[in-house]
Amino acid sequence: MSQVIRYERIDDIAVLAAQNPPVNALGVDVRRGLLAGIERAEAEGARAVLIYGEGRTFFAGADIREFGKPPQDPWLPALCDRIEASPLLVVSALHGTALGGGLEVALSCHYRIAVPSAKIGLPEVNLGIIPGAGGTQRLPRVTGVEAALDMITTGRHVRAPEALSMGVLDCVKEGDPREIGLAYARELLDNNAPRRAVCDMPAPAPIDFDAAYDAVLKKGRGQLSPAVAVRAVQAACEADDFAAGQARERELFMELMTSDQRKGLIHAFFAERAVSKLPELQGVEPRPLHQIGVIGGGTMGAGIATAALLAGLDVVLLEMSPEAAHAARDRIAANLSGAVKRGKLSSDAHDDILQNRLTLATDYDALSHVDLVIEAVFEDMAVKKQVFARLDAVCKDGAVLATNTSYLDINEIAGSISRSSDVVGLHFFSPAHVMKLLEVVVADQTAPEVVATGFALGKRLGKVSVRAGVCDGFIGNRILSTYRACADHMVLDGASPYQIDKALTDFGFAMGPFAVSDLAGLDIGWATRKRKRAAGQDPRVRDSSYADKLCEAGHFGQKTGKGYYLYEKGQRAGLPNPEVMPLIEADRAAQGLAPRVFTDEEIVRRYMTAMVNEAAKVVGEGIARRPLDVDVTLLYGYGFPRYWGGPLKWADLNGLADVLTDIRNWSEDDAYFWQPAPLLEQLVAEGRSFDDLNKEN
Ligand code: 3H9
C-alpha cells in the first residue's frame, strides 16, 4: 500500500490521491504508487480512475532532487504511457500548479478538469531540460504547434480559463478537486464517453521549424534548452509515429540532462530557495510591519516607497522641503502608473494608494509611529549619522532603523546611536520597485529579530533577500568593483570596451560592464575612484584616467546621451562613442603600455576569474555565508547568466584547480591584483568544491 498515493474506491471509480507535500513532486514512490493504483483499479474491475493531488497542488513536476542520480523504475515517460494505455477511463482533476511532469501526467489522462485558480505549464526549459515524459509530443497534438511552442519554450504558467480555451482542459469548475473530479468522472461514465488517448490523435501540422529554432536560440541569449525544445516539437510533426517522436524527445532530454546548463539552472533553483533559510533565524519571530518610513524621495527612495506601497504597506515619506516631497510624490505616482500599465495594479488601487496610503512629510516627528524606517539619503557618513541621530530621538521603541547605504560602514552608523541592535542595512538595487535583489546587511550588534524583520520585509516586497556582512560594497558591489577593475586593466592592456562588452554578452551577461556603467551613470564610478584615491590607494593599484576624462567633459552615460556609447534619443542601445578610444590610447601611452591582442575567450576567462577570486574572499571572510549567497546576489542584482548558476557554480563547473592556476600565472604580471583567495587555495588543496561548502552550511 503506497504511503504517498492513497487508493480508494467510490462505486466504480478508483480514486488515486497524491499525498506528497509540499508540492506532490513525482518522485519514485509517487510513480510507483500511481502505477500500482492503475493496475489495482484494472484488476478490481473499476470503470474509471480519478487522479488528483491532496494539499496545495496537483503534481508540480518530476522530483528535481532525483536529477543526476541513477533513474529508478517506473520512469515517468513509461508511467505516462501506461496511464494513457489503460482501458479504463482516466480523469485528472487539477488545482494549484500542474507543472512539468505534472502536466504530462494530466495529458496522458483521457480527460482533464480543473478549478479556475489552477495553473498549468511546462517550465522544464527553465531548469535546462525539456519536457521528457511526452509533453513535447502530446501538447502540440492538443493545442497545435504554435501554442505548444509558446508554452514549452517560455515555460510560462497558463491559467485554467486560458488552458480551457486552448483545449488542454476539458472543463473548469469551482470547487474541491476531489469533488469536481468525481462528479466529472461520473458524468463521463453516465454518458458513455469514450477513452481518448492523445497519442492516437493525428500529428500536428508543421511550421518553419528552422526559423523557430533560430528565433528561440537568439532570444535565449545562449540558453540552449528552449531551442532544443523546438526540435522535440518538430519531431511530434515529422516522426513516423508517436513512439518515434517520443524516442527523439527522450534523446534530446538525455543530452540536456548531462549539460552544464542543466546543472547551473537547477543550482539556481535550489539556491534561490535556500538563500533566505538561515539557521540563526530558526524560530526567531520578525517584528510586526504595517507602516514604514522612507527618508529621501530620489530615485532610490521613491522606488523603495513604491515597492512597499505595492506590497500593501503604508508609507511615510520624509523629504527636506515641501517641493522635494512633491517631486518624490510625482516619482512614486509615475512608478505606480507604470504598474497600472503593466496590469499589475488597478487604477482604483493606484488612486487609493496615493490618496490614503502614502503620507508625505518634512518633519521627523511623522516617523514616530512607523515600524521600520529606511533612509536613502546622500552617501556620506556625516549625513547618515545626522539622520540616525534624529531617528534615535523620534522613533518608537522597537522600530527597525535601516540604511540603504551601498558601501558605508554600518557598524559606525549603528555605533553612533543609543540603539545599535535595531540598526540593519537594507541594500536595494535601482529601480527598487523592479530589481529583485535585497542585501540584508547584518552589523555586529544587529539583533536576530531585526535581521528576521529585514527578511520578512524582503519577502513581503517579493524580493530575493541575501544576508551580507559589513565591508566596503557588501557582497555584490565589492565583487563588482574587482571584476570591473579587471575589465579596466584589460582595456589598458589592449582590449577595447566594445570587445569586452561583446565578449561578455556573448557569454550570456545581460549587458557588458561598460554598457552597465553608462546605464548606472559614469559619475558613480568617478565618485568612487575619487573617494578611493583620496583615502590613499595602495601604489600597486593599476589606475586609469580615461573614464575620468569622459566625466570631466560632462559625459555621464545614458542620462547625458554620451558615455562609452552614444545614445540617440529614445534608443536604449548605443553606438561606440568615437571620442573614447583616443582617450584610452592617450592613457596607455602616458603609462608606457604597449597594447596587445586579447581573444574573447581570454576576456571572459579573466573577468570570470577575477569575479570568482573576490567572491571566494567574500565567502572566506564570512561576508557571504555560503557560496550560494554570492551566486544568488550576482544572478538577481548583476545580470549574471542564470544558466551558469552564478559565478561560484561556474567555477565548480570549470574546475577550481584551473581557476587557481590562471590566478597564479597572471599574478606573475600583477601580483597585487591577482592574490589568490585563501578559501580557493584551501578547496583546491582538499579537492573540494564550492558546492561542498553549500551542503555543509
Ligand atoms: C520535470 O517535470 C521533468 C519532466 O518533464 C520529465 C521527467 C522525466 N521537485 O517554490 P517553493 C520544493 S522537471 C522537488 O518554495 P512555492 C522546493 O524546493 C520539473 N522539490 O513553493 C521547496 O522546498 P523547501 C518541472 C520541489 O509555493 C518546496 O518544494 N516543474 C519541486 O513558492 C516549496 O517550493 C517545475 O519546474 C520539484 N519539482 O512555489 C516546478 N518543486 O521547502 C518547480 C518545488 O525545502 N517548482 N520543490 O525549500 C516551482 O515552480 C514552485 O516550487 C511551485 C511552488 C510553483 C510549484
Confidence at residue 382, expressed as pLDDT on a 0 to 100 scale: 95
Confidence at residue 1, expressed as pLDDT on a 0 to 100 scale: 66
Instruction: Report the alpha-carbon distance of residue 501 to residue 141 in Å, rounded.
Output: 43
Shortest-distance Cα residue to atom 9 of ligand 1: 63
Binding site membership of 518 for ligand 1 (Cβ less than 6 Å): no
Give, to the nearest 10 degrees, the angle between helix 242-257 and helix 260-274: 70
Shortest-distance Cα residue to atom 27 of ligand 1: 23
**Known catalytic residue at 124:** yes
Give, to the nearest 10 degrees, the angle between helix 101-108 and helix 76-85: 20
Question: Are residues 302 and 252 both part of a single domain?
Answer: no
Binding site membership of 62 for ligand 1 (Cβ less than 6 Å): yes
Instruction: Report the alpha-carbon distance of residue 131 to residue 248 in Å, rounded.
Output: 12
Q: Put the strands of the sheet holding 158-159 in their side by side order.
A: 97-99, 119-121, 158-159
Question: Are residues 368 and 457 both part of a single domain?
Answer: yes
Instruction: Report the alpha-carbon distance of residue 318 to residue 328 in Å, rounded.
Output: 9
Question: Are residues 388 and 430 both part of a single domain?
Answer: yes
Query: Which residues of the chain register pLDDT less than 70?
Result: 1, 570
**Known catalytic residue at 238:** no
Shortest-distance Cα residue to atom 24 of ligand 1: 273
Question: Are residues 249 and 367 both part of a single domain?
Answer: no
Is residue 600, in this structure, part of any structural domain at all?
no
Question: Are residues 137 and 223 both part of a single domain?
Answer: yes
Atom of ligand 1 nearest to the CA of 76: 8
Of 84, 124, 272, 439, the catalytic one is: 124
Binding site membership of 25 for ligand 1 (Cβ less than 6 Å): yes
CB 320 within 8 A of CB 298: no
Of 84, 104, 272, 439, the catalytic one is: 104
* CA-derived radius of gyration, the chain: 28
Q: How far is the CA of 541 from the centre of ligand 1 (A)?
A: 46
Is residue 551, in this structure, part of any structural domain at all?
yes
Instruction: Report the alpha-carbon distance of residue 102 to residue 95 in Å, rounded.
Output: 11
Instruction: Report the alpha-carbon distance of residue 389 to residue 416 in Å, rounded.
Output: 8
Residue 254 is part of a domain; what is its CATH number?
3.90.226.10
Pocket test of ligand 1: the residue of 64, 72, 125, 262 to mutate, having most ligand atoms within 8 Å of its CB, is 64
End-to-end CA separation in angstroms for the chain: 37
Atom of ligand 1 nearest to the CA of 155: 36
What torsion do the CA atoms of 622, 627, 629, 630 make, to the nearest 10 degrees?
90
The CA distances from residue 167 to 120, 144, 686, in Å, are: 12, 10, 56
Choosing from 595, 619, 640, the residue where a domain stops is 595
Binding site membership of 99 for ligand 1 (Cβ less than 6 Å): yes
Cis peptide before 676 (omega within 30 of 0): no
Binding site membership of 23 for ligand 1 (Cβ less than 6 Å): yes
Give the three cell numbers for residue 542: 593599476
Question: Are residues 22 and 146 both part of a single domain?
Answer: yes
Domain count across the chain: 3
Atom of ligand 1 nearest to the CA of 99: 30
The CA distances from residue 218 to 133, 157, 227, 235, 591, in Å, are: 26, 22, 9, 21, 41
H-helix or E-strand spanning residue 51: strand 48-53
Residues 282-304: tens digit of each pLDDT: 999 999 999 999 999 999 999 99
Q: Given phi > 0 = left and psi -120 to 50 = alpha, else beta, which region is 521?
A: left
Q: For residue 223, what are the domain limits?
A: 5-258
**What rounded mean pLDDT belongs to the chain?**
96
**323 phi, psi to nearest 5 deg:** -65, -45
Residue 526 is part of a domain; what is its CATH number?
1.10.1040.50
Question: Are residues 170 and 297 both part of a single domain?
Answer: no
Question: Are residues 153 and 298 both part of a single domain?
Answer: no
Residue 439 is part of a domain; what is its CATH number?
3.40.50.720
Q: How far is the CA of 270 from the centre of ligand 1 (A)?
A: 9
Q: Return the biggest CA–CA distance within the chain.
A: 90
Question: Are residues 564 and 421 both part of a single domain?
Answer: no
